Amino acid sequence: MIQTTNLTRKYGDLVALDNLNLQIDEGECYGFIGPNGAGKTTTIKILATLLKPSWGEARVDGKVIGYQNAEIRPSIGYVPDFMGSYDDMVVREYLDFFATCYGLSGSQRHRAVGDVLELTELNYKANSQVAGLSRGMSQRLSIARVLLHDPKVLLLDEPASGLDPRARIEIRELLKELNRMGKTILISSHILHELAELCTSVGIIEQGKLLFSGKVSDILDKAKVGQVVHIEVTQQSKEAATLLRAVEGIRSVDVVTENNRERIDITIDSESAFDQSEIPNRLIAQGFRITSMQGEQINLETAFMRLTKGLIN
Ligand SMILES: Nc1ncnc2c1ncn2[C@@H]1O[C@H](COP(=O)(O)OP(=O)(O)OP(=O)(O)O)[C@@H](O)[C@H]1O
Ligand SMILES: [Mg+2]
C-alpha cells in the first residue's frame, strides 16, 4: 500500500532522507520510530503529497507521488504534528467545514460528520469551541477530520505527543479500531514502547536511514535484549544463583538487593528455546523455596537504544 524506493530528500546540503526503502502492506499498522530530526515528518509529508522527493520514488496504493497526487489524495488522511487553530468554530462546524472541502454534500456530509463524531467519541463535544478543547480531544478531532472522506491510508505524525497517559490510551484504542476496520496506518513516534502494542510492524529511522524494519519481536531478537526473569528465594540467594548459572540457555544471573530484599535477576537468550518453567524446577529439586517469580516486560527502550547507537548491524 505504501512503498518507497531509494527515497531521498535534501534541504540544501542537508540530507534529511537517505535512500529510504519502505514497504507497508495493506491493513498494516506500521510504527515509524526515530529520534528528533530523524526524518519522520519529512517522509510523512512526502507520502501526504505535500513535499517532493529530491530523488527516488514513493508510491501510495500503486500511484506515484509527485505525478499522480490528485488520485492519491482521496485515499489518504494526514494528521500533521501540529494542528492549526480554528477559533470561533464549534466541533461540528469544524468537521462540516472539512467535509465540504473534501467535496461531500448535503446528506452525505451530514452522515459523515455524524459517523466520525461517534467513532471518535466526540459527540458530547459537538457544540464545544474547537479552541477550548484539551490536547487529547483536539487530537481526536484531527483524526475525526481525516476520516470524513473514508481514506484507505492514515498518516499520523506523532499523534500522541503531549498527551497524558489516559488520552494516549484512548488514541491507541481508536487507532486499533481503525486498523480493525481495514485502514492501513503509518504512525510516527520517538517512543518505541508506545507503538509496540499497537503496531503490526515497525521501522526505525535515524539520520534519514532506515536501520530496521520488521516485526517488534524481530527487533528484540536483533538487539539481543533477551528476556529477564526476577526470582526470590527464602534464603541462600547466592547459592541459588550459582546453580542457575550452570543452566544452559541462561545468559546471565545476578543477585540484586533492593529495599533490603534480595532477588535474582536472570537473563535468558532471546533466541534460545529455553523454557522458563525450568527455573523453578531446578531450584525446587535442590531444596530452594521460591517466594516469587516474575517475568519482566521485555525492554524495548533498550532495544531501541542499541539499534540507534549502531551497536549492531
Ligand atoms: N523545511 C526545512 N528546511 C531545512 N531543514 C529541514 C526542514 N525540515 C526539516 N529539516 C531538517 O531535516 C531533518 C529531518 O527533519 P524531520 O522534521 O523530518 O525529522 P523528524 O524525525 O520528524 O523529527 P522530530 O522528531 O523532531 O519531529 C532535520 O535535520 C531537520 O532539521
Ligand atoms: Mg517530526
Residue nearest atom 24 of ligand 1, based on CA coordinates: 36
* pTM as predicted: 0.77
pLDDT attached to residue 162 = 82
- For residue 35, how far is its CA from the centre of ligand 2 (angstroms)? 9
Per-residue pLDDT band at 312 (split at 50, 70, 90): very low
Using one digit for the tens of pLDDT, what is the confidence trace for 169-227?
889 999 999 999 999 999 998 877 778 778 989 998 989 999 889 887 777 666 666 67
> Which of 51, 156, 151 lies closest to 102 in space, CA to CA?
151
Q: To the nearest whole percent, how much of the chain has pLDDT over 90?
A: 54
- For residue 39, how far is its CA from the centre of ligand 2 (angstroms)? 7
Domain ranges of the chain: 2-221, 226-297
pLDDT attached to residue 313 = 42
Residue nearest atom 29 of ligand 1, based on CA coordinates: 37
3-class SS shares of the chain: helix, strand, coil, % to 5: 35, 30, 35
- For residue 173, how far is its CA from the centre of ligand 2 (angstroms)? 22
Using one digit for the tens of pLDDT, what is the confidence trace for 26-35?
999 999 988 8
Per-residue pLDDT band at 156 (split at 50, 70, 90): very high
- For residue 284, how far is its CA from the centre of ligand 1 (angstroms)? 56
Q: Does residue 310 surpass a pLDDT of 60?
A: no
Out of 40, 47, 161, mutate this one to test ligand 1's pocket (max ligand atoms within 8 Å of CB): namely 40
Weakest-pLDDT range from 5-9, 44-48, 59-63, 292-296: 292-296
Give the ligand with the smallest distance to the CA of 35: 1
d(CA 123, CA 93): 13
- For residue 17, how far is its CA from the centre of ligand 1 (angstroms)? 9
Q: What is the CATH number of domain 2-221?
A: 3.40.50.300
Residue nearest atom 27 of ligand 1, based on CA coordinates: 36
Out of 8, 9, 13, 14, mutate this one to test ligand 1's pocket (max ligand atoms within 8 Å of CB): namely 14
C-alpha cell at 283: 531450584
- For residue 202, how far is its CA from the centre of ligand 1 (angstroms)? 20
d(CA 119, CA 183): 14
Residue 313 CA, distance from chain mean position: 22
* CATH class of the domain defined by 226-297: alpha beta
Which residues does ligand 1 sit against, CB inside 6 Å?
11, 14, 16, 34, 36-42, 190
d(CA 270, CA 226): 4
Which residues have C-beta within 8 Å of that of residue 141, sequence separation ≥ 6?
A: 83, 91, 94, 95, 120, 122, 130, 133
3-state SS assignment for residue 51: coil
pLDDT attached to residue 233 = 92
Residue nearest atom 30 of ligand 1, based on CA coordinates: 37
